[in-house]
Structure 1
Amino acid sequence: MKNLILATSALALTAGLAFAEDAKTIRMGTEGAYPPYNFINDAGEVDGFEREVGDELCKRAELTCEWVTNEWDSIIPNLTSGNYDTIIAGMSITDERDEVIDFTQNYIPPAQSAYVALSADADLTGGVIAAQASTIQAGYVAESGATLLEFATYDETVAAVRNGEADAVFADKDALAPAVEESGGEMVFAGEDVQLGGGVGMGLRESDGELKAKFDAAITSMKADGTLNAALKKWFGEDAVVYE
């Protein structure tokens, strides 16, 4: 899923306080701009797959969730500085991130990234490809030979294709599918899907091992009783990649 490439490991020094056993209220940090993973609904509240899963995880861990939104490009620095306690924002588990923060086990299996364009024969190797900044999709495009055009938000990457700034957008296939469906044939998938990352996990400060253990246990229970697979199918469709 969405993947942040860290330019430095200096953020490993954190100003946040470690999770204490008696702490009951956990601030869940998300972007709020990446449907269906997370978004802001008409009532102004965080919604989506990760809101549903995050609330259930907190319930099983006997914790109270408070939801906090943060722009994607600073979502890790604001975790390490203590502005919230977790990242639950479509963040793929990568070696680069794992040098700075810790991760739970994944709550979304490794999935596919894809290209979307106005034509199925768009130039994906020599053309201009839009991607959200600070993602490994952007890193992949930069190494592919194509010209990378980065934007701060996912919506801007899709708009760049529609207005002719980019030949295609490269992002999580699950995020792109609604845009393709809602375009009425204007936008189509192009080229081959690409698997990136190790699935999506919750990000935590490295000092918060007790909190990680609580959420790992809750994720394990959701996998075991089928609750997590049901949520994946609800938000990503019956063909969603699920746990065996």
Structure 2
Amino acid sequence: MKNILIGTAALAMLATAALAESHSVVRLGTEGAYPPYNFINDAGEVDGFERELGDELCKRAELTCEWTTNDWDSIIPNLTSGNYDAIIAGMSITDERKDVIDFTQNYTPPSPSAFAAMSADLDLESAVISAQTGTIQAAHVTSMGGATLLEFANPDETIAAVKNGEADAVMADKDFLIPVVEESGGDMSFVGEDVALGGGIGMGFRKSDPELREKFDTAIQSMKDDGTLNALIVKHLGEDSPKF
């Protein structure tokens, strides 16, 4: 019996060591193409709101983290297949996604989505509207009835489609569209009403990694409690962006 107990204890220690080793470096997956949430800077590094947030969360969770980028349309499949350990990529929490992965609590409140176009008096109900594939905005355009959805793999292509006349308007997170409109020199403007979609943005994890998710969940809560998360939201997303 003693030998059995020792053997069981040894196996438990090995399992714990294996788990610790598997998460000795936590790989954070992001898109790197959705400013101000995440983008690649001139030095070729991941930058933006989620880079600064992710680094602080890893520090608070006492984890060593490294960043990797992945195209949006395969970002969940590559998480579940083990190419990285967490998604931190402007991903809204939805019931459909929760069927596949688990989320932390949100690190941004639900924020509005918006439409931007070259014409301020565009009729959205009969318009061709561009949106990024696999987003809550693409799903919303589909539900609008008379509008036609034009999907693209990355956010820049959705903007280019409006500028070159391929689409009448683009729908995306308003935080993403604000600098696009402001930097257009008056060529683009917001049209229609803002739309509230999703349950805020959270980090995504494999369902088999509850302990790792809980570490980040605790770190997010600590940033909410001490006000540093709101400070980051203001710094990167603007004073008018919803806060906690």
Higher helix residue share:
2
Do these two structures clear the TM 0.5 threshold for a shared fold by scoring above it? Answer: yes
Q: What CA distance in whole angstroms lies between the structure 1 residues aligned with 2:214 and 2:71?
A: 27
Q: For residue 21 of structure 1, report the CA deviation from its aligned partner.
A: 4.0
Q: What CA distance in whole angstroms lies between the structure 2 residues aligned with 1:241 and 1:135?
A: 20
Q: What CA distance in whole angstroms lies between the structure 1 residues aligned with 2:217 and 2:87?
A: 14
Q: Which segments of 5 or more consecutive residues in structure 1 lack a partner in the other structure? A: 1-18
Q: For residue 24 of structure 1, report the CA deviation from its aligned partner.
A: 2.5
- Cα deviation, 1:9-32, whole Å, max 9, x if unaligned, reads xxxxxxxxxx92453310000000
Q: Which residue in 2 is equivalent to 1:42?
A: 42
Q: What CA distance in whole angstroms lies between the structure 2 residues aligned with 1:127 and 1:102?
A: 35
Q: For residue 184 of structure 1, report the CA deviation from its aligned partner.
A: 1.1
Q: Normalization by structure 2: what TM-score? A: 0.91
CA RMSD of aligned residues (A): 1.0
Q: Which residue in 2 is equivalent to 1:210?
A: 211
**Bigger Rg over Cα:** 2
Write the letter of the residue equivalent to 2:128. V
Q: What CA distance in whole angstroms lies between the structure 1 residues aligned with 2:199 and 2:83?
A: 26
- Cα deviation, 1:6-64, whole Å, max 9, x if unaligned, reads xxxxxxxxxxxxx9245331000000000000000000000000000000000000001
What pairs up with 1:29-108 in 2 under 5 angstroms? Answer: 29-108=29-108
Q: For residue 96 of structure 1, report the CA deviation from its aligned partner.
A: 0.5
- Cα deviation, 1:166-208, whole Å, max 9, x if unaligned, reads 1100110000000001001110000000000000000000010
- Cα deviation, 1:54-87, whole Å, max 9, x if unaligned, reads 0000000000110010000000000000000000
Give the % identical residues. Answer: 72
Higher relative contact order (CA 8 A, sep 6+): 1
- Cα deviation, 1:106-149, whole Å, max 9, x if unaligned, reads 00110000000011111211110111111121111011020111
- State the SS of the aligned residue for 1:131: strand
Q: Which segments of 5 or more consecutive residues in structure 2 lack a partner in the other structure? A: 1-17
Q: What CA distance in whole angstroms lies between the structure 2 residues aligned with 1:97 and 1:179?
A: 28
Write the letter of the residue equivalent to 1:20. L
The answer to whether 1:134 aligns with 2:134 is yes
Write the letter of the residue equivalent to 1:138. A
Q: What CA distance in whole angstroms lies between the structure 2 residues aligned with 1:88 and 1:25?
A: 16
Q: Which residue in 1 is equivalent to 2:223?
A: 222
Q: What CA distance in whole angstroms lies between the structure 2 residues aligned with 1:80 and 1:241?
A: 30
Q: What CA distance in whole angstroms lies between the structure 2 residues aligned with 1:120 and 1:167?
A: 11
The question of whether the paired residues in 2 share the 8 Å contact of 1:123 and 1:167 is answered with: no
- State the SS of the aligned residue for 2:202: strand
Moved over 4 A (4+): none
The question of whether the paired residues in 2 share the 8 Å contact of 1:21 and 1:210 is answered with: no
